[in-house]
Amino acid sequence: MESQKEFLLAEYREAAGAYFEGVQLGYSVFKGYITANGLFVAALGALGEGKFLGLQNVSLLKIIPILALLVSLTMIMALPHYFKHLENCRSRCEALETVWGGALFTRLGRISNGGSALTSAGGMILTVGVIVAFWLGLIFHGHLSRLLV
């Protein structure tokens, strides 16, 4: 019985650690994603003014939005796995808290399942969607469309 308690305590600590490290990693990756897109926009602005480092801007102006879309696609593909990982860790900690006591993850679960109009997952997906729409609009309807034809 004592070894089972020790195991469950160790499992709780590992799941809690994985949850909070996952939150921190997700926050860092999302900040990097936003920063990268800002750099892509800045590069478009710099390249749109003429030659840059002796390179032909037309080809670079075509590549940047496509590269930005590939980065966004990677983010879109990773988000479901990321949120599934967080949910798995939180649910396991919540289950252990109902048996052994504790309220941190139980309360996090109530917040997550509270029926809010916009969750953190929804906010991230909405942000990525807006960025993808921006790049697609720039490619197909914006000032780059004349270069891509």
Convert the pLDDT of each residue in 10-21 to its tens digit: 998 999 999 999
Residue identified by tokens 């037309």 is 58
Q: State mean pLDDT over 117-123.
A: 78
Taking the alpha carbons at both ends of the chain, their separation in whole angstroms is: 72
Q: How far is CA 1 from the centre of its chain?
A: 41
Q: With beta carbons less than 8 A apart as the criterion, state whether 61 and 144 touch.
A: yes
Convert the pLDDT of each residue in 60-116 to its tens digit: 777 888 899 999 999 999 999 999 999 999 999 898 888 888 888 888 888 777 777
Separation in Å, CA 25 to CA 28, 37, 79, 83, 119 = 5, 18, 12, 12, 18
Q: What predicted TM-score, i.e. pTM, was given to this entire model?
A: 0.79
